[in-house]
Structure formats: structure tokens, C-alpha cells
Amino acid sequence: MIRIQYLFLGMLCLVLLPLVNASAQEEQISKDNHWALTLYTENDSSYYVPGSTADRYYTHGSKLVLTHQPQLADRFSEKLGTLLPINGHAPVDTALGYVFGHNIYTQDNIANTVANPNDRPYAGWLYGGMFLQRSVEDREMDHIELNMGVIGPAALGEPIQKFVHQISDSPEPKGWDSQLHDEFGINFIYKHKWKFNLLGETQDGFAMQAIPQAGFVVGNVNRDANAAITLRAGWHIPADFGPGRLDDVLSATANPWAKDLSFYAFVRAGGKYVEHDMFVSGNNDHDSLGVAEEHWVGEFEYGMALAWKRLMIHWSNRHVTEEFKHQERSHIIGTWMFSYAHPF
């Protein structure tokens, strides 16, 4: 297990360090090169979902994201533009992001020591990666992300969940002996978003926006095609592409500062066609527990965001339909997001 963790960290360093160094060695950093550090944390407990007593399925996720706007991102965008043009010859704003995350998945009843063969398997997912974002005139945006990591005991899902449950005086999860075995994982993620002002101007008073999006995930961990639309309304709405969450991070191509106190509420509806989900169907060698995926999965999310100067706080609840055959109920997951922006 330790060897797999070292291998994962080594590969991640080989991917990220040359890019970070190249960015740091640029001759001059523009004063528009804003850095932002964002923490996403998701859970199905009452601290996230009011009144919830759930502790099952996708039960926890944490993700730390560091973004900035180096000239290196402009060069990446220029290279990408030959393969994936975006809105002709309009000026393009860009950003790079670096991510480190951890997810935990369990069965419905964590008190059972014997795994239910009709339930999803226990699993941990420890990963890291980077992404490129580019936007045009605050109207449309591309998000391109590559993540690599490990699934299985090396992902530390069991000790982390047991430690958190111990210090919070929660029931001990007893089914981890049946978790997925160690396997390297990789996902390539693409999203495209459009933004339409329905009422008012975002930086001046009350405004309302619609933000449709479409994308896909390709890898040995997940493969799906997805689409959603977000409606948000509020005062001094920031110049971004909608609320962030663990699998759909904030856009970082614009100035992340809020000139005035900003507040908005939002609703989002979406769905995806799932071709493969390792956290449902099990290890790719089929030598583990696993169940059949529900290919069509829908969701409905609502929440609010508050921003002031360099700080942003976001909360939301997301209702997700059944993700596998024989799943007895839908699931609600809550998100807290905390972001801090700083210029260098």
C-alpha cells in the first residue's frame, strides 16, 4: 500500500512541478495574476444537510484548489485553440489550477460487517491534478482537467473515516474489509459553459443569470456525458461562471475580488449518462464487489453564495437520483466552499 502511495505522489510531482516551475520563472507577473485558494468539502451529515442522519454512498469529499493566471496559461490556450477554437478571434482570459482531493464511498448501512452484494462497494479515492480554464468576454468558458490517483486501501478511506467518526462520536464504519483493492486511476474532464444575463448587470445592483453547461469525463475511473443549467439571482454577482462544488470548481479567469458585498441564491438542474463508474461497478479487473450502474442519473441543487473583497463562502444541497440498480433511495449531499483570493 505504501509503495502505491509513493508511486502516486511521484507521478503527480512529475506532472505538476515542471509546470509550476515554468510559471514561476516567467520574466514578469502581471498585477492581474490573482491567486486564489479554495477548499471544497462535501458530506451527507447534518452539518451540511439540515436534519440529515445519513452516512452512506458518496458520504464525504474534500478538495483543495490553487488557481492563478500566469502567461503560461495563455500559451497553453493558444496551442489548444488550434484543436478546440472558442469564439473566433475575441480576447481570451485564462487560468491554471492545481488540485488535491479525497473522496469516500460506503454502503447504505455502515454497521454491517458483511458486505451487501446488492449495494455499492466501499472505496476511497485519493487524487491530484491540474486544469486549464479559458473564457471569452465573460460569456463562455472551457474547463479542461486531468486527475490521477489511487483507489483502494492506499487511498486511506478507511482510517480517515474511522478517525473522523471516533472524534465526532459517530458510529464506527465496519464494512471496510470489502473495499475495492488498490488500482491506479485517471480521469480527463471537459466542461463548456455559456452565460446569459437575463436581468440587470452583474457588478451593479440586482441581476439574474442563466448558465447552461455540457461536458464529459473519460478515464478508467469514470466515463459519462453530462449537462446542466444554473439560474442565479442576487446583488453584485461576481464575474464568474456560477457556483462551485467539488466536481465543478469555480472559474478563475476573471478578477476574483468582489468590489462590493456580493450575495446570490441559485438553483441548478442537471443529468448525466453514465457509461462507467468504478465506485459503483467495482475494480476494472472485476475481482471485487460491484453492482450495475444506473445509466441515467439526475440531480437538483440549490444554495447561496456570499462574497466580500477577497473572501467567498458557498453552501448548497444536491439531490441525486439512484446511481445503481437496487438502490433503495436517492441521496442528498451538502457542499461548503471557502475561497480566498490574493494578488502577487
Q: Which H or E element spans position 314?
A: strand 311-320
pLDDT at position 76, please?
A: 79
CATH of domain 2-343: 2.40.128.140
- How many other CB atoms sit within 10 Å of the CB of residue 91? 8
Domain ranges of the chain: 2-343
- HSE at residue 36, side-chain half, CA atoms within 13 A, is 30
327 and 155 Cβ atoms separated by less than 8 Å: no
Q: Classify the C-alpha dihedral 61-44-112-296 as positive or negative.
A: negative
Q: pLDDT tens for residues 268-311?
A: 999 999 999 999 999 999 999 999 999 999 999 999 999 998 89
pLDDT at position 20, please?
A: 46
Residue listed under C-alpha cell 503527480: 12
**Cα(318)–Cα(312) distance, rounded to whole angstroms?**
20
Report the predicted TM-score, pTM, of the whole model to 2 decimal places.
0.89
pLDDT band (50, 70, 90) for residue 186: very high
Instruction: Kindly give, in sequence order, each residue whose CB lies less than 8 Å from that of residue 141, ignoring residues fewer than 6 positions away.
Output: 133, 134, 135, 192, 193, 195, 241, 251, 253
* 163: amino acid identity, one letter: F
In this structure, what are the phi and psi dihedrals at residue 112, rounded to the nearest 5 degrees? -75, 130
Q: What is the mean pLDDT of the chain?
A: 89
> Helix (H) and strand (E) counts for the chain?
4, 13
**Residue in 99, 101, 93, 103 with CA at minimum distance from that of residue 130:** 99
